[in-house]
């Protein structure tokens, strides 16, 4: 092959490389450790980078020290409207995997750390919540709950939140208890934290249309 032919071949190869669309194929999509693909059956893993909202659950998860960030087992918030005054997290210490800690976050600030006496969480310390799998923050969950309350002729007053994974290789789930403006319980919802899909509900007679 002549020198000129080699130059032309090289230029064509470079142009072809630069014009390939820069997007991930399904098989190249990032994998989330401990999470089954959840995309309506397409098999593409759900991976999101969710911008934290002040006072929300994601902001609380981001506020904990790095040694707990990859070991969060449970996030609980009581009396949210939409967000609670504080979030309580159960997390195992990745620098000392034998211990599970109870962490408290208020106003997006990490405020306390104590050894957990939650035996159930200690037994399931490897079933952590992948941060990148949380596609619906507490504010989005509140909006879903409010729509269910409205569909049943009620006004949502407050919500008790729990975010957890029930088993290995399962998506995180929001389990919430809804109360009306007078504090009366009106229903419960289970919502996939990956997509916002309502997986189950009780107490509410009607689903929003």
Nearest to 36 by CA among 193, 170, 132: 170
Q: Please give the model's pTM, rounded to 2 decimal places.
A: 0.74
Task: Give the H or E element holding residue 188.
Answer: strand 185-192
> What is residue 125's predicted lDDT score, i.e. its pLDDT?
58
Mean pLDDT of 75-83: 97
Asked which of 8-17, 92-101, 181-190 is least confident by mean pLDDT, the reply is 8-17
Instruction: Tell me the backbone φ, ψ of residue 199, rounded to 5 degrees.
Output: -85, -30
Q: Are 81 and 157 in contact (CB under 8 A)?
A: yes
The C-alpha angle with vertex 174 and arms to 170 and 176, in degrees rounded to 5, equals 145
Task: Compute φ and ψ for 15, nearest 5 degrees.
Answer: -65, -40
Distance CA 65, CA 152 (A): 41
What are the C-alpha distances in Å from 71 to residues 92, 120, 162?
Answer: 5, 15, 16
- 82 prior amide bond cis, ω within 30: yes
Position 24 pLDDT exceeds 50: no
Domain boundaries, the chain: 57-202
Flag whether pLDDT at 33 surpasses 90. Answer: no
Can you list the alpha helix ranges (DSSP code H) found in 27-183? Answer: 57-63, 66-69, 119-123, 138-151
Q: Does residue 183 or residue 8 have the better pLDDT?
A: 183
Question: What's the CA gap between 193 and 176, in Å, rounded?
Answer: 12
In this structure, the strands spanning 109-115 and 100-106 are antiparallel
For the segment 91-128, what is each residue's pLDDT rounded down to a tens digit? 988 888 778 899 999 999 999 999 887 655 556 656 88
């Amino acid at each position: 092959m002549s020198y000129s032919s080699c130059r032309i071949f090289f230029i064509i190869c470079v142009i072809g490389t630069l014009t390939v669309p820069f997007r991930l194929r399904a098989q190249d999509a990032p994998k989330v450790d401990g999470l089954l693909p959840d995309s309506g059956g397409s098999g593409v893993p759900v991976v999101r980078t969710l911008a934290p909202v002040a006072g929300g659950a994601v902001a609380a998860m981001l506020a904990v020290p790095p040694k707990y960030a990859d070991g969060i087992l449970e996030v609980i918030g009581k009396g949210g409207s939409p967000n609670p005054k504080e979030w309580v997290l159960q997390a195992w210490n990745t620098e000392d995997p034998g211990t599970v800690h109870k962490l408290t976050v208020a106003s997006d600030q990490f405020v306390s750390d104590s050894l957990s006496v939650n035996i159930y969480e200690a037994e399931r310390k490897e079933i952590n919540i992948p941060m990148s799998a949380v596609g619906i923050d507490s504010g989005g969950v509140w909006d879903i709950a409010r729509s269910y309350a409205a569909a049943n002729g009620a006004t949502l007053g407050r919500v008790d939140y729990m975010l957890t994974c029930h088993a290995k290789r399962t998506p995180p789930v929001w389990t919430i208890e809804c109360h009306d403006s007078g504090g009366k319980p009106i229903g419960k919802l289970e919502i996939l934290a990956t997509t916002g899909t309502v997986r189950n509900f009780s107490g509410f007679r009607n689903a929003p249309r």
